[in-house]
Amino acid sequence: MPRITVNVDGIAYEEEVEPRLLLVHLLRDRLGKTGTPIGCDTGNCGACTVMLDGQSAKSCSVLAVQADGSDVVTVEGLARGGEWHPMQRAFHEEHALQCGYCTPGMIMAAIDLLRDDPDPSEEAVREGLEGNLCRCTGYCNIVRAVRRGAAEMSRRSASESSAQEVPAP
């Protein structure tokens, strides 16, 4: 069986895996990273979305062996120093989740969406999240949350860069 090394939410794992094992099953069944759920078997729902080397990926559509040597961030690895990621907070503030099953994937996809477009319009958010299905919310609050999260992230990166520009007294 192939042996792979994969870094998940900051921890390096070395695992022997069957070639057919899906990344999502590696995460859930082997590593106990159950924060990333599975909603379908055809790559349509997006519930399983994670960051794979900085880009969003549906972890049900990636083999564990393909993730060898990669860096994976799941929803469990977003918080920093006990503080939620702005997108997690925005989902909470805007009531962008009900059952919460789609939420991990939705949050990861939303963060990925902002890499290309840090200030997406409503339209752009709706198009950008086309691959993530939610059965509970009707999406209105998800769209609001993504735009709120985007605004907060821009505000932070602006204040971070201005902090860097100002020389220390």
Binding site for ligand FES (CB under 6 A): 38-40, 43-48, 58, 60, 97-103, 134-137
d(CA 67, CA 72): 8
- Per-position x/- string for 38-77, each x denoting binding to another protein as judged by CB under 8 A, each - no binding: xxxxx-xx-x--------------------------xxx-
Nearer to another protein, 11 or 99 (CB): 99
Residues 6+ apart with CB under 8 A from 89: 149, 152
Nearer to ligand FES, 100 or 118 (CB): 100
CA 55 to chain centroid: 9
- Take residue 3 and report the two structure tokens written for it: 């042996």
Q: What is the DSSP letter of 63?
A: B
Instruction: Please choose, out of 26-34, 62-70, 111-119, 152-160, the segment that lies near another protein by the rule CB under 8 A.
Output: 26-34
d(CA 98, CA 118): 26
| Under rule CB under 8 A, residue 121 binds another protein | no
d(CA 36, CA 46): 10
| Under rule CB under 8 A, residue 126 binds another protein | yes
Count the site residues for another protein by CB under 8 A.
Answer: 59
3-state secondary structure of 154: helix
Enclosing H/E stretch for 1: none
Which of 16, 29, 119, 160 is in the footprint of another protein by CB under 8 A? 29
Chain residues binding another protein by CB under 8 A are 18, 20-21, 25, 28-29, 32-42, 44-45, 47, 74-76, 78-79, 84, 88, 91-93, 95, 97-104, 107, 122, 125-127, 129-143
